[in-house]
Amino acid sequence: MNKYLLDTHILLWSLLEEQNLDNKTIKLLNSPDNILYISPISIWEIIILAEKKRIKLDNEPETWVRNVLQTIPLHEAPLNHEVALCSRSIKLPHQDPADRFIAATATVYDLTLITSDKNLIKSAFNYKILPIA
């Protein structure tokens, strides 16, 4: 089994804007042979994006997230001390804590990060990455 960590935008695209994903990625996300993980940081980012009206959800953000977590087979990759420590060693051109925690989560749990974020793709020296164009 392959284990993947979804970057926040990949999760959102898979649920709200699937046209942003290529067929290979859609197949990967839907395959029962793969285990999909998300970080609690992605939940935090989704709520902030909804509060700032940068994404439109069909429900209150907290309700929408809970519904997603109940209906989609996603596993939590919890934040812990190792993820926090590792987040400071990730080489990124910015200090965005969400990107740092997501990259560190992929590193600590040995997950392949699925992302289209150019900064995360370029910095992928401590973690495996599946770049989405």
pLDDT tens digits for 48-77?
A: 999 999 999 999 999 999 999 999 999 999
What is residue 3's three-state secondary structure?
Answer: strand
For 65-121, how does the pLDDT look when each residue is reduced to its tens digit (9 = 90+)?
999 999 999 999 999 999 999 999 888 888 789 999 999 999 999 999 999 988 888
The answer, yes or no, to whether residue 27 has pLDDT greater than 90, is yes
**Confidence (pLDDT) at 98:** 94
Query: What pLDDT is stored for residue 120 in this prediction?
Result: 87
Cβ atoms 13, 49 nearer than 8 A = no
Asked if residues 133 and 24 have their Cβ atoms less than 8 Å apart, the reply is: no
Which of the listed CATH numbers 3.40.190.290, 3.30.465.10, 3.40.50.1010, 1.25.40.10 matches domain 2-131? 3.40.50.1010
Pairing of strands 128-131, 74-76: unpaired
- How high is the pLDDT of residue 31? 96
Predicted confidence at residue 119, as pLDDT, reads 86
Full-model pTM: 0.92
What does the pLDDT read at residue 124? 65
